[in-house]
Structure 1
């Protein structure tokens, strides 16, 4: 509780600095047609719950609007125009320290005069007009507001129905029982490498995101049956958009907290042309956890830093050009030789020192132009890259009685160490995404485009096994080269998507895409149909259905693995070079009911059929569907596309949007996720928790210029599956080895977590202070993560590793 006392002492001190004069700020932005992106004039923009004079404003010929003297606080914005569906945006935050800029797209109505007003966009509605089901828009405020989210989109998304986190120490997400590796990250229309610090090949998550949430505009998140423009993913999609800097006023943000010291600067490059800049930088402060005695799962202190930028240049005829980028570097040394026996180490192995560095970066150029009132062109060219560099030193422990390690001063006694692993995986990608929207009429819109990625990989990996024999000294086997590849390959995905209103209340979205990966002849999916149908029912209800075929290439490092590439009998043999695509059929039906102005109920049911899944050629329980949620790569034998899987379930969401000073979100899902390996046995996937539910609530208290937000979250998820430990093989390998036949027949206890978030905001003239603490797992509940190999003095070696315990994440931010 000392963290809460410090928080309120600090906030009380700051609140004493201000007077009680009412503060206001400017709300401005631009309104455009949703399909053609052409600016809309004569649009009415109103702040429903607070304006200085009770009136709104209208947009000019360039679609621009400005509302001055808007009182600070949370506001609701209504945007309407004759011939267009009304947009109602809840929970818009107006702070004294920065202008609120809202750019909104309106959807044209089928008929100008309708007996029932249909809201085209509300809080949570997807930006993508082709999405029918399993899609949701999320805001930066949600990532900041949800307890336990730590300001990250991935952790925020784990609150949605059908989505769960895989590990407290990582932000991987499991969507409907699928591997986290099936999630696609896109920025400005192009796919990007894993955007996290301490990334591992074949994964899409990590401990900390590289992308600053301060740089994000409202973005979309998909959990299934996504439109044809999204490819190379079988689970879900993060479709991120970057915001422009303020083009009229210089603004700054400084933030200090446990996760890092951050700075963000934005403002006009030229007020005459409307060009702007936006830059951020962050440096890790994780040493604070160590100093405060807070458990983060290891005594090692991770270090990282990241930066991002965006420069926006308006051009003639409503065109614009944006230069953007972000990247980061991270390092951690897991030194078992320096730890005490009682120290926790959930990130590494207990028999070696591990040195690890990762780097990731993207730079892109985006061009956008409405060609006329009906057609919009968008193109992004980007270069991205990621590198993982590591080496391991095996530790030779001194053994005593009963062949157990000797312990002196609470440390293992080590006689020597030797390098047993050295690898560097580097991958670069040149990406081009081009798309065009054409609106034939208010009823019909066509979107077509091409996404392409040119991969260039440089994988080098050498390792040697440790030979452990009874009553014999430990020996090291000769070095083996498992990866040695410098290759390139082209991934191409053309698509077309058509949305048409068949009647006033019936909408069809139909699309077709294809996927070609030039690495081998088996990686070609000639036609992947996508279709969705939405029927607006009376009393603000909607019934929807969507289906589609989806495919995905394998993690690139899988293609180039060899048992020993320098062995004369296997020289140059990369055993998985000819692997094909993993494929999946998605079927989703959805019922949506707007119970009131700010209350929505949504129910979805789904079935997913997975096929052509890589499994081992020899009979085993291995499947690629169980990978992608750890800090380790996988080393299977020869793989073939003969595995299958199936996921089905039902999800419920009850959400009250922020109004009357509070909001809540209740989500629940019941599901079953199974797979078959090459042994033909139907098993639980590693992620088949059977159920998951979340309950979030937050209340805001306002006191003149200040506001206090108190939020809470409770999560319950079925436990992870594991197998029967093969004791003989585990002792020989000094690692936990499971019996293949008994894989995923045992289940850890159910996962429980309660989070609490408190933030206090103080608005002063042209200045906003925010002080917040996110108390993750505030009750300190012990949830099992996995089993590890750790010989103990009593002769046992199987150790239960637990998820993170209580983790307070504090920050102080000032906007001015």
Structure 2
């Protein structure tokens, strides 16, 4: 409550200034409507502001302009003879500048040209007719509790598990946090978050600046063949392009960072986007008494050049630099603060991705060339008792770099048949210099190795789409192959052939049946492939490490009672095979990945088998008495086969770390008069499984001194469950639009009713008044232990933000 009382004056000030009223100027929007098949402008298309009388028609080259639009988020409805009518993604109309947009239309088959097709923002593709959610910019900008962080916004999607801790781990349909892939304007983005966990997808804050995001397509299955090396989800980010008329500036002060974004023209044919951000999490975390003090910085840029309607070139880049230090100045730290200070290391991390995309259009075909380079460097240190005069417990210095090329060719054979085909090649390097103290087999051991790994990877893919009977029935079949020269077990591309099939049938103009099945492969992380012994031998290569395989079976029904309302129910069943299993603790790596620093740098064997299955229900509507709402519920199981002492699979399944069973999220927002917006989000996550502590090992003096954390009793793996977690978040926005600039103020409060999520009680040694560990007088070589509370999250987090456009 102390944080709330300090925050209250800001809220009062924020509310008081909102009651001012003034004459509000209007905004304008211009853009181009083009044919998705060949990028040609479409003349005489009707462009209308949805639910408004404002509209116009495109000129002979497909360009249009609409003036006198009330500021705020709008959609455009675009229709033209011979094309499917669509509702566009949302655009922010601002008085500070004229918004520029581009909208592609899909050609109608000749047999449907006389049919009236109702527009809907919930579009799907034939390749992925189900398990796909399209997220607009207003959902990202104004998501309660999201703080303009795309990773947190995505936790509202069906099948996505959220966490009460300060992390952005991405866990989809019971899969592990390393099973996801991310793309930014067709360029693969290996690192999505600041303070990323190397070998997985999690972190603390998203590295992507949402100022430049146009829309996000989230796939929980039915992956297109052009996207590989994933098992659970795909995130496809599309960025805006710069303003061609003048330079625009946006200054932001958010809950965790401040930044500056610019976009505008560079030449008559080239526009740019550019942003830089820096966090003040160090100050925030110090204020609320957290024992770690992170600082992150990032940059993002994009240039887009249109030589003509047939040729386009994009150059983009994104990167971050992160530092985490321990808060050693806490006066009289409590038990939890002292515990975290004891085990958490200090770290430095930087990453970047640079990419170039060239698009070429013909009359009925498109070519896409993509070249990119990504790099991640990770430096982690931990000293005994945080004293640099004492020996190190951890000294981890790792780096990985990827150079990628991909070519795609798309061709419209006829109005009912299209083809996609392509190839890819990658060259990756990985290096790791590691020293750490490990307690294993009842003795302390020093892990000390230095290894460099070079990899060539190659792939091919193809996909065909065929529609039948006035597009009532759609079939898509794709095939993909991946290989790498890492080992004999990975270099035969025919062992990693990945077929996929999607079927969609329109029962009625408002009812649809969908089905998808596929076989997907993913290469283990570089941390696992590059693990070596002191002589530099790749241990896991010797253990015949190979691609992880997963079979997906998904079926669903979709109901669209109105163009702005969509209801879906999907059932899914996934199996896993050849998952790496740790030789240190016999735990499948699918159960790891939410730790800090890195995951997978340990000896393994590819013997893990698992499954995940359940049902998802999703309601999204934008017309419920002026309320934009979504409700998502998932009931599922996530399990892996139990292993015997020789790591042979038994018939018994045990819960994975992600087997929470129930996930429910309800999000609602409403726009009020005088540009007020209010949103609420309530989350419920079922009981998480956990493994009890091994009291005997934890109390051992050399064991505790090596790790400063309790050890799990893996003979009782995930045999207990924590209480369920739930949280209510709220956000209030007030927008002011002036003639040459605009101002947006917002207040965001996470965990309004102060729910404290409980973790398993922590087992730690007793201390005397001088802070020294107390030895057990009855057992030589052991500490005297006690339990302390383990509250995960539970803090009310109020914040305010300011956004200025000019």
Q: Using structure 2 for the length normalisation, give the TM-score.
A: 0.90
Please state whether the residue corresponding to 2:345 is helix, strand or coil. Answer: strand
Please state whether the residue corresponding to 1:217 is helix, strand or coil. Answer: strand
The verdict on how the C-alpha distance between 1:357 and 1:262 changes in structure 2, with shifts beyond 3 A counting, is same
Answering whether residue 587 of structure 2 is matched by residue 622 of structure 1, we say yes
Q: 1:177: how far off?
A: 0.7
Q: 1:58: how far off?
A: 2.1
Q: Which residue of 1 aligns with 2:308?
A: 316
**Could you list the per-position Cα deviations for residues 580-633 of structure 1 after superposition, in whole angstroms to 9, with x for gaps in the alignment?**
011101111111111123222111111111112122469x64112101222154
The verdict on how the C-alpha distance between 1:637 and 1:798 changes in structure 2, with shifts beyond 3 A counting, is farther
**Could you list the per-position Cα deviations for residues 478-536 of structure 1 after superposition, in whole angstroms to 9, with x for gaps in the alignment?**
8541x421121122221111111122111111110011122112124442111101111
Q: Is the 8 A contact 1:353 1:394 kept in 2?
A: no
Q: 1:286: how far off?
A: 1.7
Within 5 Å, which residues of 2 pair with 1:534-545? Answer: 534-545=504-515
In the alignment, the residues of structure 1 paired with residue 799 and residue 38 of structure 2 have an alpha-carbon distance, to the nearest angstrom, of 43
Please state whether the residue corresponding to 1:231 is helix, strand or coil. Answer: coil
In the alignment, the residues of structure 1 paired with residue 222 and residue 692 of structure 2 have an alpha-carbon distance, to the nearest angstrom, of 36
Q: Is the 8 A contact 1:36 1:438 kept in 2?
A: no
In the alignment, the residues of structure 1 paired with residue 485 and residue 623 of structure 2 have an alpha-carbon distance, to the nearest angstrom, of 49
Q: Which residue of 1 aligns with 2:123?
A: 125
Among 426, 440, 447, the alignment partner of 2:420 is 447
The verdict on how the C-alpha distance between 1:468 and 1:395 changes in structure 2, with shifts beyond 3 A counting, is farther
Q: Which residue of 1 aligns with 2:534?
A: 565
Q: Which residue of 1 aligns with 2:357?
A: 366
Answering whether residue 351 of structure 2 is matched by residue 377 of structure 1, we say no
Q: Which residue of 1 aligns with 2:288?
A: 294
Answering whether residue 620 of structure 2 is matched by residue 648 of structure 1, we say no
Q: Which residue of 1 aligns with 2:773?
A: none
Among 683, 692, 696, the alignment partner of 1:724 is 692
In the alignment, the residues of structure 1 paired with residue 616 and residue 334 of structure 2 have an alpha-carbon distance, to the nearest angstrom, of 42
In the alignment, the residues of structure 1 paired with residue 158 and residue 465 of structure 2 have an alpha-carbon distance, to the nearest angstrom, of 26
Please state whether the residue corresponding to 1:435 is helix, strand or coil. Answer: strand
Q: Is the 8 A contact 1:447 1:498 kept in 2?
A: yes
Among 518, 521, 535, the alignment partner of 1:551 is 521
In the alignment, the residues of structure 1 paired with residue 583 and residue 140 of structure 2 have an alpha-carbon distance, to the nearest angstrom, of 43
Q: Which residue of 2 aligns with 1:709?
A: 677
**Could you list the per-position Cα deviations for residues 133-156 of structure 1 after superposition, in whole angstroms to 9, with x for gaps in the alignment?**
101222232111221222122211
Number of residue equivalences: 769
In the alignment, the residues of structure 1 paired with residue 194 and residue 72 of structure 2 have an alpha-carbon distance, to the nearest angstrom, of 34
Q: Which residue of 1 aligns with 2:669?
A: 698
Backbone CA RMSD of aligned residues: 2.6
Answering whether residue 298 of structure 2 is matched by residue 306 of structure 1, we say yes
Within 5 Å, which residues of 2 pair with 1:750-761? Answer: 750-761=724-735
The verdict on how the C-alpha distance between 1:595 and 1:304 changes in structure 2, with shifts beyond 3 A counting, is same
Please state whether the residue corresponding to 2:363 is helix, strand or coil. Answer: coil
In the alignment, the residues of structure 2 paired with residue 40 and residue 132 of structure 1 have an alpha-carbon distance, to the nearest angstrom, of 26
In the alignment, the residues of structure 1 paired with residue 282 and residue 502 of structure 2 have an alpha-carbon distance, to the nearest angstrom, of 50
Q: 1:98: how far off?
A: 3.4
In the alignment, the residues of structure 1 paired with residue 141 and residue 416 of structure 2 have an alpha-carbon distance, to the nearest angstrom, of 37
Q: Which runs of 5 or more residues in structure 2 are unaligned?
A: 645-649, 769-783
Within 5 Å, which residues of 2 pair with 1:235-246? Answer: 235-246=232-243
Q: 1:723: how far off?
A: 1.5
Q: Using structure 1 for the length normalisation, give the TM-score.
A: 0.89
Q: Is the 8 A contact 2:678 2:730 kept in 1?
A: yes
Answering whether residue 708 of structure 2 is matched by residue 737 of structure 1, we say no
Q: Which residue of 2 aligns with 1:19?
A: 22
Q: Which residue of 1 aligns with 2:778?
A: none
Q: 1:660: how far off?
A: 5.4
Answering whether residue 547 of structure 2 is matched by residue 581 of structure 1, we say yes
Q: Is the 8 A contact 1:252 1:815 kept in 2?
A: yes
**Could you list the per-position Cα deviations for residues 646-677 of structure 1 after superposition, in whole angstroms to 9, with x for gaps in the alignment?**
11111111111257532111110110111014
Answering whether residue 801 of structure 2 is matched by residue 801 of structure 1, we say no
Q: Which residue of 2 aligns with 1:512?
A: 479
Among 657, 676, 693, the alignment partner of 1:686 is 657
Q: Is the 8 A contact 1:167 1:785 kept in 2?
A: no
Q: Which residue of 1 aligns with 2:772?
A: none
Deviates more, 1:40-49 or 1:780-789: 780-789
Q: Which runs of 5 or more residues in structure 1 are unaligned?
A: 397-413, 470-475
**Could you list the per-position Cα deviations for residues 318-363 of structure 1 after superposition, in whole angstroms to 9, with x for gaps in the alignment?**
31111110101010112558663316449x8553572200101011
The verdict on how the C-alpha distance between 1:220 and 1:41 changes in structure 2, with shifts beyond 3 A counting, is same
In the alignment, the residues of structure 2 paired with residue 387 and residue 477 of structure 1 have an alpha-carbon distance, to the nearest angstrom, of 28
Q: Is the 8 A contact 1:616 1:623 kept in 2?
A: yes
The verdict on how the C-alpha distance between 1:575 and 1:345 changes in structure 2, with shifts beyond 3 A counting, is farther
Q: Is the 8 A contact 1:621 1:741 kept in 2?
A: no
